[in-house]
Amino acid sequence: MTDPDKAYNVIDEPPGVRTPLVTGRHSYASLTDTVSHVAEMKTPLAWYIAFAISVFWVGVLGVGVIYLISTGVGIWGHKNPVYWGWPIVNFVFWVGIGHAGTLISAILFLFRQNWRTGINRFAEAMTIFAVICAALFPGIHIGRVWLAYWLAPYPNQMAMWPQFRSPLMWDVFAVSTYFTVSLLFWYMGMIPDLATLRDRTKSRIAGLAYGLFSLGWNGSSRQWHRYEVAYGLLAALAAPLVLSVHTIVSFDFAVSQLPGWHTTIFPPYFVAGAIFSGFAMVISLAVPARAFFGLKDIITRRHLENMCKVITATGTMVGYAYMMEFFIAWYSGSPYEKFAFINRALGPYAWAYWTMISCNVISPQVFWFKWARTTPWFMFVVSIFVNIGMWFERFVITVTSLSRDFLPSSWDYFRPTTWDVLFLIGSFGLFFTLFLLFCRFLPVVAIAEVKGVMAPVNPPEHAEYRTQLVH
Amino acid sequence: MGRFTFPAWVNSLVLPGLGLIGLGVLYLSVLVPYALSPETLVAGYQPTQPVPFSHALHAGQLKMDCRYCHTHVFDSAHSNVPATATCANCHNGSKAPDGTNSTTAVHTESLRLAPVRHSIETGESIEWNRVHDLPDYAYFNHSAHVNRGVSCVECHGRVDKMDVVKRVSPMNMGWCLDCHRHPTEHLRPLEFITKLDWEPPQGQTKKEVGEKVREDLGIRSLTDCSTCHR
């Protein structure tokens, strides 16, 4: 079998012609076979190895959480004047990653961008798992974890409510709404495919499990009709969340008075950054997964190329925001604001700032070249840089502003502890554990939706004709 | 095997299932909060004391003022339980030189007062059981309240009618805040602080009297965290 990536010469594609969304000689049946095979095949050894490594880090995270609860937040590097360290950095990092899923599933759906079907299941799963990782950090950094339910407004014997004027409170609502809607959207979209797996499986237990979760789906037109209506409604509900969630996360900083945080550019800049990092993570996951699970015909280079374009666009917006922050710092005439930004670029955290600039602003510019945005291994490398850069962005924002604020006598240099690092790696362990389970047991591509976009163009004989045409 | 489909009898579970969920919600939102509320758990606590001292007799029938025994309530944060010496003012059991009972001694032979006489002789304290105990993280000051128009009765109830003291208030945070947010109706002129059966003068409501007291004493509504959690 030839490599599907070689079958279509996307680089020399003439204008006006696009690679089909599903390449190869796929019929409806072979498409179902290909995707179902991922969940049905004998578990490969590589999966066990990857899963063992991920679960090990979940174990480390678990030990860390127990140690944290029994000892207190002092095990992290927080000390005067930096009381918001890595946990908030990790929280914003993970929430940001989640945004690609919602953008792909909701906004691209509403704009009828058909190429989303190949990657939406994948990206939505990533969203759910990223939000779980994100929710972990505010959950454990509140100090008295056993009182976490105080975050919820409910009538209580203390006659007390959470501080509704605090953006941290808004965060609780924003993130929990986001998680609920994303989960519903992901699950509802999966029901027809779960029914497919139910009908194919030979195992009694798997049949029962898929049968329960596919909610008695039988593919009647009445069910399809209701499914489409519900899907559209959920997409409409989820679309504003793409903008609202990271806007509110940015309020955590922007509503405070601290120079470097107190800026009105934060909401749009955070949203752009979130989509930027989310798409980078989708590429980091999709490139190896499509090769490993044989999905190159479904997640084609055209899909990857489109995502690279989004990365360049949002990366450039983020770069613009970085510049604008400096302009406003000068234009405001506020000496504190000016100092905050000069300190960012030239102060003790200059290494972090320039890491951020190189990864976030410079590295995505390579995607102006068609070769770069159609070569999977290369975009994988760039996407890792973007992930690193976006983590550093949150680090730079959080730590540089806090470590040198209004009062020079309280300035200090923040150093993370070993536990800070272990919690970050542990959260990746949790993310990959969930993701590997997803790859093993659930339909990784939206089979039914992909069939919708391949319908007229791809009976084998036409595909062959098309291949000739493109070459 | 054939594909799994839901058997028809699943339909008959839908209504009972919804009903069960409804009952569960009702249980969790009504019964559990009621059972766990301080009104249920704390109010009504009435421990048996080592001496069957009756407030109903002393403060009620004999009309002794609260301050006769709880001497520091107007001066200190803590309202003291009297030392046995205070009981001994009347119940010391001392005899006149001729062997007869002293005219100032009451019930010198009473068996019920045996622990009091034992305490007087040995100097050991009577181990009263504490009825009102606030958690250590809540700062409470008696003098701040009784000097600002809040009567004993507002928190402790009609102690002058209790044979054995009973905790009538839940004394949870919401209960404290309720008064701190709306103090007016709980204020009275300072001369009536220990008069547990006080009623506002004819033609005036408690609120009107409280309004004036509030104005005269300049009472603010203190609800900052640090008011009680210092």
The reply to whether residue A198 touches residue B6, judged by beta carbons under 8 angstroms, is no
Between chain A and chain B, the number of residue pairs with CB atoms below 8 A apart is 36
Joined tokens for residue A72: 């207190």
CA-nearest residue to B38 within chain A is A157
Alpha helices of A409-446 — where are they, by DSSP H?
418-441
Entry field: residues in chain A:
471
A233 touches B: beta carbon within 8 Å: no
Joined tokens for residue B159: 């102690």
The reply to whether residue A207 touches residue B1, judged by beta carbons under 8 angstroms, is yes
The reply to whether residue B4 touches residue A212, judged by beta carbons under 8 angstroms, is yes
CA-nearest residue to A197 within chain B is B3
Full-model pTM: 0.85
User: Is A318 exposed, middle or buried, given 0-12, 13-18 or 19+ CB atoms closer than 10 A?
Assistant: buried
Q: Is B132 left (phi over 0), alpha (psi -120 to 50) or beta?
A: beta
A162 touches B: beta carbon within 8 Å: no
Interface test with B, best of A157, A214, A223 (most B CBs within 10 A): A157
- Asked if A13 and A471 count as a contact pair (C-beta separation under 8 A), the reply is no
pLDDT tens for chain A, 471 residues long, are 466 666 655 566 666 666 777 777 777 888 888 888 888 888 889 899 999 999 999 999 999 999 999 998 889 988 888 888 899 999 999 999 988 888 888 888 888 888 888 888 888 999 999 999 999 998 888 888 888 888 888 888 888 888 899 998 999 999 999 999 999 999 999 999 999 888 888 888 888 888 889 888 888 899 999 999 999 899 898 888 888 999 999 999 999 989 889 989 999 999 999 999 999 999 999 999 888 888 888 888 888 888 999 999 999 999 999 999 999 999 989 999 999 999 999 989 999 999 999 999 999 999 999 888 888 899 999 999 999 999 999 999 999 999 998 888 989 999 999 999 999 999 999 999 999 999 888 988 888 888 887 755 445 555 555 555 544
Q: Which of A213, A237, A230 is nearest to A102 (CA)?
A: A237
Identify the DSSP state of B164: S
Prediction ipTM score: 0.71
Q: Per-residue DSSP letters for B82-143? A: PPHHHHHHHH---B-TTSSBPTT--STT-GGGHHHHHHHHH-PPP-PPPS----TTS---HH
The reply to whether residue A207 touches residue B3, judged by beta carbons under 8 angstroms, is yes
d(CA A431, CA A48): 16
d(CA A256, CA A242): 23
Joined tokens for residue A27: 């019929």
> Between helices A447-454 and A28-40, what is the axis angle to 10°?
160
From chain A, pick out residues whose CB is under 8 angstroms from the CB of B1.
202, 204, 207
Shortest distance between the Cα of B12 and any Cα of chain A, in A, equals: 15
B218: amino acid identity, one letter = G
The three-point CA angle A147-A167-A77 to 5° equals: 65
Q: Is A143 left (phi over 0), alpha (psi -120 to 50) or beta?
A: left
- 3-state DSSP call for residue A166? coil
CA-nearest residue to A211 within chain B is B4
Identify the DSSP state of A410: G
From chain A, pick out residues whose CB is under 8 angstroms from the CB of B178.
159
Q: Which of A287, A237, A248, A292 is nearest to A270 (CA)?
A: A248
Place of tokens 């059981």: B129
